[in-house]
Amino acid sequence: MSKSNNVYKDAFNRCLRLLDETKSLPSEPELGTLLGVSRTTVRSILARMEETGLIAWNKRNKTVLRAPRPEDFFPEEETDSLAEIIERSFMRRLLAEGAEAGMQINELELAREIGVGTTSVREFLIRFSRFGLIEKRRNSHWVLKGFTRAFALELTEIREMFELRSAAAFAALPEDSAVWVDLDMLEVQHRQLASEIATRFNEFSELDERFHRLIHRASHNRFIVDFYDVIAMIFHYHYQWNKAEERQRNEVAVQEHLAYIAALKSRDPGKVDAACRKHLKSARLTLLSSIPEGRQAQLA
């Protein structure tokens, strides 16, 4: 087994959901762009759909025969890429108790534990190293730097620097820039979420990321834009294992975002700066308060 066909399985599942909406499927290249895969994969999907009686396929004709049933879908866990599987396993370990700074990381052990080859683990660790949580010793093991208070402070320091600059750049964008439309859309979504916060508070994460990424993009600086990956990763996993006060937290954040959006729309640099600072400050406090006190740097 050299490569799993998760790309195919994931695209197949997504394609199944398209079946509900139409009587017939579009052309192969069109499906390809829609699903983000090559025609080769599209054709495998169509082949299976024909086989299982979901569609009748004859050249350009792809008629939907029946609605998809639960058993038509591939199991969720088979649609994840290896990288995602490794990342999840690794993050679980990292945020679990006992993952102290200075600990060494063993590629072979990780690979065996997760049940994958060492190459994939190596590649993952190299990719992951840019998050500043691990470090390589040449010709030797990786060292865990740990998800410590120091890490959170260093991360937020950069975040604040970058976001203040991006927000200022955003406010200075011309009236006819497309970003104002995006911002309006985000504002509407924030208002909707605010009005139903009691039941939908867990949808905030995703909205949060889209909002901040929009702002960072205004910097027109790849290093700033890319840095948001670090923040997104940390927030994603950290809050996944730390649900304390989630509703309360998100409710506050939504209101801060709305104030921030209003400041951006005012295009007044002073107001933008103030609203941005206020939100970043509470984001920092939230992150810091959720790091257990015992989880300090233990490094020599």
Partner DNA sequence: AAAATGTTTTTTCCCGATAAAAGACATTAC
Partner DNA sequence: GTAATGTCTTTTATCGGGAAAAAACATTTT
> Which residues lie near a second copy (CB under 8 A)?
7, 36-37, 119, 122-123, 126-127, 130, 132, 138-139, 145, 151, 154-155, 157-158, 161, 165, 220-224, 226-227, 230
Taking CB under 7 A as the rule, does residue 93 contact DNA?
A: no
Those residues with Cβ within 8 angstroms of residue 79's Cβ, 6 or more apart along the chain or in another chain: 6, 9, 10, 13
Q: Judged by CB, which is closer to DNA: 43, or 88? A: 43
Residue among 51 and 157 whose Cβ is closer to a second copy: 157
Question: Taking CB under 7 A as the criterion, which residues in 105-134 touch DNA?
Answer: 105-109, 116-120, 122-123
Contact 275, 229 (CB under 8 A): no
60-83 exposure pattern, b = at least 16 Cβ within 10 A, e = fewer: eebebeeebeeebebeeeebbebe
59 binds, among DNA, a second copy, none (CB under 5 to 8 A by kind): DNA
CA–CA dist 172, 82 (Å, integer): 42
Residue in 48, 88, 93, 141 binding DNA, rule: CB under 7 A:
141
State how far Cα 270 lies from the chain centre. Answer: 31
- Tell me: does residue 248 bind DNA (CB under 7 A): no
* Residue 296 interacting partner from a second copy, DNA, none (CB closer than 5 to 8 Å by kind): none
Q: How far apart are the first and last CA of the chain?
A: 43
Residue 28 in contact with DNA, rule: CB under 7 A: yes
Binding to DNA by residue 23, rule CB under 7 A? Answer: no
